[in-house]
C-alpha cells in the first residue's frame, strides 16, 4: 500500500530529499514528474547517501563511487578499495506521483 510522503514541489527537479517515514530512511530523487525511492544508505558499507550524486536514474555514492540504478536497485559500478557489507543491491521502493503528492509503497523491492 502506498503512503503519502510529501508534496512533489518539496523536491526540486533533479534533486534529492531525505526523509524518515515510520522508521524507514528514504532517499527520494526527482526526475521531472517522476520520483524514484530507495533506502538512504549505500549497501556497500552502510553509509548514508546524503552526499550521493543523482544523474536522472542513477545514484553514485560519494564515499567509494558505488553506482546504482534507481529503477532496479542493481549495482552498476563496483565500489573501489573496500570490501562490501555482503549485499550488492540498493533497496528500492515503488513510488508514484498523484495529484502533486509523492506516494511510496514501503514494502521494499529487493533485487538479488
Is the CB of residue 85 less than 8 Å from the CB of residue 44? yes
Residue recorded with cell 513510488: 95
pLDDT, tens digit (0-9, with 9 covering 90-100), for 72-112: 999 998 876 656 555 678 999 999 999 999 999 998 765 44
Q: With 0.85 as the threshold, say if the pTM is over it.
A: yes
Where are the chain's structural domains? 2-105
Residue recorded with cell 549495482: 75
pLDDT, tens digit (0-9, with 9 covering 90-100), for 21-58: 988 999 999 999 999 999 999 988 888 999 999 998 99
- For the domain made up of 2-105, the CATH class stated in words is mainly beta
State how far the Cα of 93 lies from the Cα of 106, in Å rounded to an integer. 6
Tally helices (H) and strands (E) across the chain: 0, 13
Full DSSP string of 24-69: EEEEEEEETTEEEEEESEETTTTEE-TT-EE-SSEEE-TTT--EEE
Amino acid at each position: 500500500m502506498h503512503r503519502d510522503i510529501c508534496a512533489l514541489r518539496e523536491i526540486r527537479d533533479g534533486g534529492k530529499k531525505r526523509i524518515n517515514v515510520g522508521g524507514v530512511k528514504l532517499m527520494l530523487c526527482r526526475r521531472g514528474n517522476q520520483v524514484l525511492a530507495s533506502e538512504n544508505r549505500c549497501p556497500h558499507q552502510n553509509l548514508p547517501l546524503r552526499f550521493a550524486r543523482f544523474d536522472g536514474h542513477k545514484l553514485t555514492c560519494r564515499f567509494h563511487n558505488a553506482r546504482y540504478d534507481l529503477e532496479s536497485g542493481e549495482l552498476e559500478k563496483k565500489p573501489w578499495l573496500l570490501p562490501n557489507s555482503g549485499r550488492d543491491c540498493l533497496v528500492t521502493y515503488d513510488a508514484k506521483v498523484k495529484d502533486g503528492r509523492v506516494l511510496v509503497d514501503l514494502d521494499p523491492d529487493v533485487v538479488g
